[in-house]
Amino acid sequence: MPNSAAQPSPRPLRLLIVDGHAYAYRSFHAISKLNAPDGTPTNAIFGFIKALGRMRGLLQPDFVAVIWDGGLARERVAALPGYKSQRPPMPSDLRSQFDGLNAYLAAVGVAWFRAEGVEADDWIAVMAQRAVAQGVDVVIASSDKDFMQLVSPQIGLLNPNDKSETIWHEEQVHAKAGVAPEQIVDWLSLVGDAVDNIPGVPGVGPKTASGWLKQFGSVETIYARLAEVKPERLRGALRTAEPDVRRNQGLIRLRDDLPLDVPVEKLLVGSGDPALLGELYQRWGFRTLLERLQPGCVQQGELL
């Protein structure tokens, strides 16, 4: 007699998209000093390898892509010349490790992408939305709050600052910002974003902005019903800052309409090249990782 018990539905295919620069910087600063036998710095490489391995172990993704930042979008700089201008130059000891990071990704069969003048956030938005359209669930690994605007039942966030390793969905976004994912652009447009050097409405903090959006729903409605905003001091600040708030919406909204064509099939994790990976680990002096490549210690598709 056939087993009539309901069988669990297989989980949807999953794409992990890694905000490359975010994890490279995080690794560089988390490990104060680590050098290869020839003296070249390897702290960002080592930390990145460990972080990516942990994420792959946690999520078991079918597809993986690492996205590197390609510089500032011209239209954002034109709208706000000071956009991200306060950021210090990349440390030379970190910059020197990017060729090694890409060599590592090639050796473990993970795709990476960078395009001049394309911000990583926008490319990630494009890739996430197109994967969802193909029936693939997405997890974006980044601490950048801009990505909260992309959260949906099919798109989650893995925030490295959240030690619980919870995949963020609408509940976590609301707990963090006090608004729904579709209100994040308006919320940040009111509050501003010091990380990107985007000024908000003077005197308006996260709680005030989330309260307004809870009451009115959107920036558009706030300005349509400006007379209802209290107190008067902040109503005046809103009125004065309206051009900035409207500009901020364009700065903060991620572009998912860029002509970037990367079918999700190309992001399938490859089998990698153990010989090449062994050469890299040997060059960098990563003895423990090198030992894991010995026969019997690693299976195909599990290179780290």
Could you list the pLDDT tens digit for every one of the 304 residues in the chain?
Answer: 445 455 555 778 999 999 999 999 999 999 988 999 999 999 999 999 999 999 999 999 999 999 999 999 999 999 999 999 999 999 999 999 999 999 999 999 999 999 999 999 999 999 999 999 999 999 999 999 999 999 999 999 999 999 999 999 999 999 999 999 999 999 999 999 999 999 999 999 999 999 999 999 999 999 999 999 999 999 999 999 999 999 999 999 999 888 888 889 999 988 889 999 999 999 999 999 999 887 644 444 455 6
Decide: 159 and 149 in contact? Cβ < 8 Å: no
What is the rounded distance in angstroms from the CA atom of residue 102 to the CA atom of residue 114? 11
Q: What is the pLDDT of residue 259?
A: 87
Write down the pLDDT at residue 294: 73
* CA–CA gap between residue 281 and residue 259 (Å, rounded): 37
Torsion, Cα of 135, 140, 145, 147 (10° steps): -30
State pTM to two decimals: 0.92
What integer pLDDT is reported at residue 7 of this predicted model?
Answer: 54
Domains and CATH numbers, the chain: 14-170+256-291 (3.40.50.1010), 181-252 (1.10.150.20)
The pLDDT of residue 262 is 86
pLDDT value at residue 282: 97
The DSSP secondary structure of the chain, one letter per residue, reads ----SPPPPPPPPEEEEEEHHHHHHHHHHHS---B-TTS-B-HHHHHHHHHHHHHHHHH--SEEEEE------HHHHHH-TTTTTTSPPPPHHHHTTHHHHHHHHHHTT-EEE--TT--HHHHHHHHHHHHHHTT-EEEEE---GGGGGG-BTTEEEE-TT-TT-PEE-HHHHHHHHSS-GGGHHHHHHHHEEGGGTEE--TT--HHHHHHHHHHHSSHHHHHHTGGG-SSHHHHHHHHHHHHHHHHHHHHHSPP--S-----GGGGB-----HHHHHHHHHHHT-HHHHHTTSTTS--TT---
Whole-number Å distance between alpha carbons of 102 and 113 = 10
